[in-house]
Amino acid sequence: MSPSHSAARRNPPVRVALVVLACFALPAAAVPLAAQAGGAVSGHVRDADGAGVPLALVVLAPADSTVPRRSSLTDRAGSFRFVDVPPGSYRLLLERIGYERQSSAALQVQAGATVTHEFAGRARAVTMAPIVARVAASGDRDGTCFTVGQLWRDSALATVWNEATKGVETRRAFDRQYPYALELRQSVTATPVRGTRLVRDSSFRVLVNDPARAEEDEQARREQRHRQGFGYTFGNVLTLDLPDEKELLDADFLTRHCLEAGVEEQDGAWQVRFRPVKPERGRIDVVGTIRLDTATFQVRSITYQYVRGRNVFIMAAVTYGDVPFFPGTELRVPLRGEFHGRPIGPVGASIRTVDGTITFSNYVT
């Protein structure tokens, strides 16, 4: 998306772009092994009434640590199947948001043979530790902040994080298995530094999820983040990347960022705040809040503050909702976003403020 804003006809075009990443990727460990002789593991996930549970996340966990885990979503009938599984000992794990993980007994896979397992719908709800809001002595709420290796220090925060990542893994597994498209529309209004005439622009794109590019796109995204952060300026162009919940609720994100202690409940949602571990001068980064439904741990909304160093210059928010992909099956996805603020760099010399909206619609498999 590249909305254009020109302060005056004699000036070169000025652009402020908020970029939504179109490709949703999986870590390399979740990509199925190919061209390898082995057996198969299959089965069903059923609810308490015996009906199949679609889009349940099933993980094939090997006893051999050198063999990567694999994951799959159940289909409309609640069925799952792993093929080309190297011979050895495995367990099946059933991940469901808001429920304790279920695990099978050890399964022995042999070349050319199929092992089956049935998951029954006897899940147990997750119990939350008491939520304690910690406040620093100065009154600043972000007195304590945890990276991925430190979450165990706050049991309530760790529980919310772990449940939220189940939803993320479900989204990732869906993106890996199913191609789909969506329409993205953005409208922008800019106020020039000189003059009173507002500059308006709009754009439209069709974004396509390609499961075959998952590993490549995930690696490219991580390399870009470590290299340039969440945005950059180049001449009269300011480009900002809008990270989705799969990126924010990922262990890699919590190596350079941290979650603030003190999960709060407000209007039926857990609020989890994130920020950089150490702001870097000149680097564009994000600070914000992820709001998760207290009953389902699904993402409701994400608010962002784009910062350079410690200075906030653009604020954005994205709301999520459930979209039916298959009959009787819904997936939580972004629906609408908005942003406003004052651009930095050469763009800020011509544009005083910028406001815009983004809509994600017509998800089609």
Which domains, from first to last, does the chain contain? 4-28+128-364 (no CATH), 30-119 (2.60.40.1120)
Q: Is 350 exposed, middle or buried (0-12, 13-18, 19+ CB in 10 A)?
A: buried
**Whole-number pLDDT of residue 132:** 53
pLDDT number for residue 9: 34
Report pLDDT for 91.
95
Res 141: pLDDT: 45
Which pLDDT score is estimated for 28? 28
- Residue 1 is predicted with a pLDDT of 36
Specify the pLDDT at position 21. 34
- Interacting residues of 259 by C-beta distance below 8 A, sequence separation 6+: 145, 146, 151, 157, 161, 272, 273, 274
Q: Do the Cβ atoms of 287 and 304 come closer than 8 Å?
A: yes
Question: Token pair 């147990």 is at which residue?
Answer: 124
CB 317 within 8 A of CB 183: no
Determine phi and psi for 294, rounding to 5 degrees: -70, -25
Give the residues across from 264 on adjacent strands. 271
Given a cut of 50, the residues of the chain with pLDDT beneath it are 1-15, 19-36, 133-142
Task: Give CA 348 to chain center in angstroms.
Answer: 30
For residue 201, the model assigns a pLDDT of: 85
The DSSP-derived string for 52-95 is B-TT-EEEEEESSTTSPPEEEE--TTSEEEEEEEPSEEEEEEEE
Of 258, 177, 252, the residue nearest 221 (C-alpha): 252
* Nearest-angstrom CA–CA distance, 323 and 330: 5
